[in-house]
Amino acid sequence: MPAFKPIINPTATDFRTVARALTLVENDLPGADVLLRGLKFNDQVPVIGVTGPPGAGKSTLVNALIAELLKGGKKIAVLAIDPTSPFNYGSLLGDRIRMATHFNHPDVFIRSLATRGSLGGLSAKTIEMSDVLRASGFDYVLIETVGVGQSEIEIAGLADITLLVLVPESGDEIQQIKSGIMEIADVYIINKADRDGADTYYNMFKKMMQQRYAETPVVKTVASQNQGVAEVANLIKQQAPQINQRRALLLADKAWHLIRECRMRDIDKKKLRQEIAEAMQKPDFNLYKFIDLVK
């Protein structure tokens, strides 16, 4: 058997090395630890998180943003996260369909990733894979979350710039959004702004946000028609060179996710489901006693 040759320097000029490196990390294959410990980062390369409720048009916005950010010969990497089924552990990975126009572009790398059961849409693998992309020479790394609700604040532990995408139909529901989600956003985006009531909602939202987060811009977009997307791209470019003042907090949150993943590595979720299915048939079954046996 030939000696294993680890990938040390994945590069944006060779997408095959990037893809192989991501596969190593995603599946914990031999060489993944060596790869991660050898990564060298450029702190000026921003990780851009795109989050918001389902149906807000995040994938369409990312697709339009790619076209804007490519200008000037830039290289873009996209990590699109899709939810994993808790029953068959499969994932639709449908974001690839919405970004199909950029699949064959030589300066765009798109990778889909399942959530692997993480409720907030982010897993330790998301963090590790985004770091591989950031160290590979891309100019921008975009992470699109699944849009699962309140736990979306996890993106704050990963992204240097966070775009919160909303739609006019949110209406009074904005009152139900936890302040934590509002606090993590660096740009608020009201997408699908060609719909009825969009101007009213935009004015209401902007007035409400200015009372608490006056410095955070609010932008109207119609991503499907490329309206307002250039303004969002310019805001990203303006913020990109800045070192995030929340760096220590963000890194601590990333470390917490990675440490938890490491300590849970020997827990096989499929096997756990089988064992608990058998154990719950016993008349004296107690979940907490079962957990004591597993620990």
* Whether residue 207 has pLDDT greater than 80: yes
Least confident of 10-14, 88-92, 152-156, 183-187: 88-92
Q: Are 232 and 288 contained in the same domain?
A: no
* Whether residue 5 has pLDDT greater than 90: no
8 A C-beta contact, residue 137 and residue 11: yes
Question: What's the whole-number mean pLDDT along residues 121-143?
Answer: 86
Q: What is the pLDDT of residue 152?
A: 56
| Residue 16 belongs to some domain of the structure | no
* Whether residue 117 has pLDDT greater than 60: no
Closest CA to 109 of 237, 217, 20, 202: 20
Chain mean pLDDT for the chain: 79
Residue 40 CA: distances (Å) to CA of 8, 36, 59, 92, 137:
10, 9, 29, 32, 10
How much of the chain, in percent, has pLDDT values that exceed 70?
Answer: 76
Question: What's the whole-number mean pLDDT along residues 126-152?
Answer: 81
Question: 275-288 burial by CB neighbour count: b if 16+ within 10 A, else e?
Answer: eeeebeeeeeeeee
| Residue 74 belongs to some domain of the structure | yes
Greatest mean pLDDT among 73-77, 118-122, 212-216: 73-77
Q: Are 275 and 189 contained in the same domain?
A: no
Residue 93 CA: distances (Å) to CA of 99, 145, 168:
11, 12, 26
Integer Cα distance of 124 and 158 in angstroms? 10
Q: Are 79 and 103 contained in the same domain?
A: yes
| Residue 22 belongs to some domain of the structure | no
| Residue 8 belongs to some domain of the structure | no
Q: Are 145 and 82 contained in the same domain?
A: yes
Q: Are 104 and 202 contained in the same domain?
A: yes
Q: What is the pLDDT of residue 264?
A: 82
Q: What is the pLDDT of residue 127?
A: 84
Q: Are 227 and 282 contained in the same domain?
A: no
Q: Are 186 and 287 contained in the same domain?
A: no
Q: Are 121 and 248 contained in the same domain?
A: yes
| Residue 26 belongs to some domain of the structure | no
Which tops the pLDDT comparison, 154 or 290? 290
Which tops the pLDDT comparison, 253 or 267? 267
Alpha carbon 139 to its chain's center: 17
Greatest mean pLDDT among 134-143, 150-159, 171-180, 244-253: 134-143
| Residue 220 belongs to some domain of the structure | yes
Q: Are 226 and 95 contained in the same domain?
A: yes
Which tops the pLDDT comparison, 162 or 154? 162
* Whether residue 251 has pLDDT greater than 60: yes
Least confident of 78-92, 179-193, 254-268: 78-92
Q: What is the pLDDT of residue 28?
A: 84
Q: pLDDT tens digits, residue range 50-87? A: 988 888 899 899 999 999 999 888 999 999 887 654 44
Which tops the pLDDT comparison, 67 or 99? 67
Kindly give the interhelix angle for 247-263 and 124-134, rounded to the nearest 10 degrees: 120
CATH code, domain carrying 239:
3.40.50.300
Q: Are 288 and 157 contained in the same domain?
A: no
Question: What's the whole-number mean pLDDT along residues 43-56?
Answer: 85
Q: What is the pLDDT of residue 116?
A: 54
Q: What range defines the domain where residue 234 resides?
A: 41-263
Integer Cα distance of 74 and 50 in angstroms? 19
| Residue 201 belongs to some domain of the structure | yes
Number of separate domains in the chain: 2
| Residue 289 belongs to some domain of the structure | yes
Question: What's the whole-number mean pLDDT along residues 91-118?
Answer: 68
Q: What is the pLDDT of residue 120?
A: 44
Q: Are 292 and 174 contained in the same domain?
A: no
8 A C-beta contact, residue 181 and residue 53: no
Question: What's the whole-number mean pLDDT along residues 181-208?
Answer: 87
Q: What is the pLDDT of residue 90?
A: 40
Q: What is the pLDDT of residue 4?
A: 44
Which tops the pLDDT comparison, 82 or 89? 82
Q: Are 236 and 286 contained in the same domain?
A: no
Q: What is the pLDDT of residue 18?
A: 94
